């Protein structure tokens, strides 16, 4: 079983010719809402990848925005433990998507900011804990420590970008970051500081359309991206994380899990939305043998 502890947001998405610069107004296209939030996206990707049972700790408000989020988790087969927060709005994200598939995102975390250390469910039967940085940092650290103490492997997707404490890094087995997030961890010290801080941790760096690279169990791995027609890269990184951990939990080797994650995230780029773009098990298999 994989346990994901993290965020759920309802995404408000508008496509526009380009992402507005400060002070600029851009006339966009149709408006749509999609279930999102890094935690929920990763839980859905993990569940749909098949093979591993997926549980999720998530906080939602008591409002209409909570319903589609709950329904999306349920439909994907995620066993959700929901913390209800009556005095905060459900998390939302405002996403502008440009014609060249870039995005700019503003998140209002709402209920997500109310998850606490004590909300972590029982860990019996859990092999992997998958975390992101859209929850309060003290809770993330407490969950990671509890998991480590229970012999559960901890995978952290250090997104959105922010510096990480040595305390948190000490609890992690696998770190997944994109280039911006790696820069935030490196801070003033640059790449050499990052390398020193990450010693002993398996690290995956995702490189967008260029694929990903990893340093794991003392070996370097390069995983090119699968070539697809990308229309919306929202949730590509989340699909990557969820499918990667599902594969590990199923017993796949690290390099194999990386390949599955890469195929799944490429497929996610070909569809609109985050959770709605997550591919099913059979689609991932089909791309891997193509
Ligand atoms: P994030 O969305 O977190 O910034 P990336 O942009 O690095 O993450 O994308 C995560 C993964 O998704 C990449 O490592 C790659 O495997 C896949 N991916 C992203 N963009 C594309 C693309 N245009 N074509 C194919 N795969 C892609």
**Residue with CA at minimum distance from ligand 1 atom 9:** 208
> Closest Cα to residue 154, out of 129, 119, 136?
129
Q: What is the pLDDT of residues 148-203, one digit of tens each?
A: 999 999 999 999 999 999 999 999 999 999 999 999 998 888 888 888 888 889 99
Residue 179 annotated as binding site:
no
Residues labelled as active-site residues: 238
Q: What pLDDT is stored for residue 51 in this prediction? A: 83
Atom nearest to 234 CA in ligand 1: 2
Q: Please state the rounded mean pLDDT for residues 110-130.
A: 97
| pLDDT for residue 101 is more than 80 | no
pLDDT at position 67, please? 97
- Report, at the CATH architecture level, how domain 2-7+36-90+111-289 is classified: 3-Layer(aba) Sandwich (3.40)
Average pLDDT value over all residues in the chain: 95
Distance (Å, whole) CA 128 – CA 148: 10
Mean pLDDT of 39-51: 96
**In the prediction, which pLDDT does 232 show?**
85
Q: Quick one: pLDDT band at residue 272, thresholds 50, 70, 90?
A: confident
Q: Cβ distance 21 to 42 under 8 Å?
A: no
The closest alpha carbon to 121, from 41, 43, 5, belongs to 5
- The pLDDT of residue 14 is 94
Task: Please give the pLDDT value at position 172.
Answer: 97
Instruction: Answer whether residue 24 shows pLDDT above 80.
Output: yes
Phi-psi region of 111 (alpha: psi -120 to 50; beta: other; left: phi over 0): alpha
Burial annotation 70-98 (CB, 10 A radius, 16+ → b, else e): bebbeebebebebeebeebbbbbbebbbb
Residue 189: predicted pLDDT: 83
Cα(208)–Cα(142) distance, integer angstroms: 31
Annotated domain spans of the chain: 2-7+36-90+111-289
Query: Which pairs count as long-range contacts for 112-117, CB under 8 Å and 24+ apart, including other chains?
Result: 112/6, 112/7, 112/8, 112/9, 112/37, 112/39, 112/59, 113/88, 114/59, 114/83, 114/85, 114/88, 115/5, 115/57, 115/58, 115/59, 115/83, 115/139, 117/142, 117/143, 117/146
69, 198 Cβ separation under 8 angstroms: no
Q: What per-residue confidence (pLDDT) applies to 103?
A: 84
Is the CB of residue 127 below 6 angstroms from any atom belonging to ligand 1? Answer: no
Contact 79, 103 (CB under 8 A): no
Q: Which atom of ligand 1 is nearest to the CA of 226?
A: 25
Pocket test for ligand 1, best of 161, 180, 213, 236 (most atoms within 8 A of CB): 236
**Could you report the per-residue pLDDT of 200-249, keeping only the tens digit for each?**
899 999 999 999 999 999 899 999 999 999 988 888 999 999 999 999 99
Question: Given this model, what pLDDT does residue 100 score?
Answer: 81
Q: What residues contact 22, with CB distance under 8 A and at least 6 apart?
A: none
């Amino acid at each position: 079983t994989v346990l994901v502890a993290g965020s759920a947001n309802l995404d408000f998405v508008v496509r526009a010719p380009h992402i507005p610069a400060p002070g600029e107004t851009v006339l966009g296209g149709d408006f749509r809402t999609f279930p999102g939030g890094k935690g929920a996206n990763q839980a859905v990707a993990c569940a749909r990848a098949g093979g591993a049972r997926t549980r999720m700790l998530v906080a939602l408000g008591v409002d209409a925005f909570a319903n589609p989020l709950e329904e999306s988790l349920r439909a994907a087969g995620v066993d959700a433990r929901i913390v209800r927060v009556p005095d905060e709005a459900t998390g939302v994200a405002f996403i502008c998507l440009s014609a060249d598939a870039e995005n700019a995102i503003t998140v209002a975390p709402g209920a997500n900011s109310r998850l606490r250390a004590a909300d972590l469910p029982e860990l019996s039967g859990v092999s992997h804990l998958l975390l992101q940085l859209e929850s309060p940092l003290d809770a993330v650290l407490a969950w990671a420590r509890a998991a480590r103490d229970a012999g559960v492997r901890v995978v952290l997707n250090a997104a959105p970008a922010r510096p990480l404490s040595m305390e948190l890094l000490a609890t992690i087995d696998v770190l997944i970051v994109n280039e911006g997030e790696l820069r935030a961890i490196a801070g003033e010290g640059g790449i050499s500081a990052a390398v020193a801080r990450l010693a002993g941790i398996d690290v995956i760096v995702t490189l967008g359309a260029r694929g990903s690279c990893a340093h794991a169990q003392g070996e370097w791995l390069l995983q090119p991206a699968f070539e697809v027609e990308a229309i919306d890269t929202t949730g590509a990184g989340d699909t990557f994380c969820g499918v990667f951990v599902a594969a590990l939990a199923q017993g796949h080797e690290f390099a194999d899990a990386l390949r599955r994650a890469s195929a799944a995230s490429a497929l996610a780029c070909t569809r609109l939305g985050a959770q709605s773009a997550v591919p099913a098990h059979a689609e991932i298999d089909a791309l891997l043998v193509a």
